[in-house]
Amino acid sequence: MKSLVVCGGLALALVSSSGCTVETSHRDDYVDDYPPPRGPGVVSSSSDEAEFGVEWTIDGSNAPGICSDLGADSAHVEIADDLGVVDEADVDCEDFVYDAPLLPSGTYWATIVLRDRSARDITTPVRTDGRDLLPGDSDYVQVDFPLDSFR
């Protein structure tokens, strides 16, 4: 299942909008419906789900302009469990955070790579350690891309 979320403008104004676009895909047998993105600290409406997200920096910084200065247009994020990828998204590099859809209890990790405007990987992919999530948990993993990780 693929979904496209448009923010910062109405769907009718997509062409002229300066908003952002996030494309996601989910394993059809895993996630019934894609909920809208949430911010840190938002409590899940379902007691059997958990929040999981990834935050990134470049050489320890999330300063405006650092992504474009280094040619990074987007961050490709994959969230996986033992059965494979359960969620993936390409988000604006300078968002510096991605919230996965609500997940059932389990162990999850993220793999993230920065990409240029042509969707080519420009950094070494980083895979986080697995995190055990229980119902109601809200967990974020931190990733830093040192300058020597750029290709």
CATH of domain 26-31+48-149: 2.60.40.10
pLDDT at 46: 54
Give percent helix, percent strand, percent coil of the chain, each to the nearest 5: 10, 50, 45
pLDDT at 42: 47
pLDDT at 24: 43
- The stretches in the chain having pLDDT less than 70 are 1-47
pLDDT at 36: 40
pLDDT at 100: 97
pLDDT at 16: 37
